[in-house]
Amino acid sequence: MSVLFSDYFNVSNETMEQYGAFNISLIGDLPLFIDPFLLFYSTNEKYRNLHNEIIKYMIFLREKSKENLSEAQIKDWFVFSEQKENWLGYSNKRKFNSLLLKQK
């Protein structure tokens, strides 16, 4: 059973590295990760503003961490749950239902 993308599609590791591709596991979905530096270096002002908002929130958290916070405040401000919409949705053994698969 082929587990990795490169195995299933018969792509060499060298080709994957040259392309800069991540050799994902096809067994289960992976959450989509957006590198904050891609937002920072973007030519799109909307994305740069998103990066600035992330930085502002981190500063907010730093200041709040100096206070005596309740468990509810800690959960509300410091816990970042996964967004179901950000899972790639390419696997049959996925954690969440995928709209991509439902559209077939």
Same domain, 36 and 75: yes
Contact yes or no for 87/28 (Cβ under 8 A): no
Same domain? 58 vs 99? no
Q: Do 72 and 95 have their domain in common?
A: no
Q: Is 16 in the same domain as 38?
A: no
Instruction: Give yes or no for residue 94 having a pLDDT over 60.
Output: no
Burial 6-42 (b: 16+ CB within 10 A, else e): beeeeeeeeebeeeeeeebebeebbeeeeeeeebeee
Q: Are residues 26 and 38 in the same domain?
A: no
Q: Is the domain of 36 the same as that of 25?
A: no
Structure confidence by residue, pLDDT tens digits, 60-85: 999 999 999 999 999 999 988 766 66
Q: Given this model, what pLDDT does residue 33 score?
A: 66
First to last CA, the chain: 24
> Which domain range does residue 50 map to?
32-81
Are residue 13 and residue 25 in the same domain, yes or no? yes
pLDDT value at 16 more than 50: yes
